[in-house]
Amino acid sequence: MDKNSARAALAKTIASLLEDCREARHRITGEGGLKPAFAALARWQAARLSHTHADLLASPRYGPAASFVFTDLYGDRDYSPRDEDLERVYRVMVRMMPASALRSIILALEAHALTQSLDIAMVEQFERLGCPMEISAGRYAEAYRACANAPLRRRQIDLVLETGQVLDRVVRHSLVYNMIRLAHGPAHMAGLGALHDFLERGFKAFRHMHGAAGFLQTIHDRESGIMASILARKAPETWAPAALL
Residues in Cβ contact with 212 at an 8 Å cutoff, skipping those fewer than 6 apart: 65, 164, 165, 167, 168, 206
93 pLDDT tier (thresholds 50, 70, 90):
confident
- Lowest pLDDT segment from 14-18, 52-56, 175-179, 224-228: 175-179
Which domain does 154 fall in, by range?
3-244
80, pLDDT greater than 90: no
**What's the pLDDT at 1?**
66
HSE of 244 in the Cβ direction (CA atoms, 13 Å)?
Answer: 26
Do 194 and 82 form a contact (C-beta atoms < 8 A)? yes
Please give the tally of structural domains in the chain.
1
Mean pLDDT of the 76-95 span: 84
183, pLDDT greater than 90: no
| pTM for this prediction | 0.91
**What's the pLDDT at 190?**
75
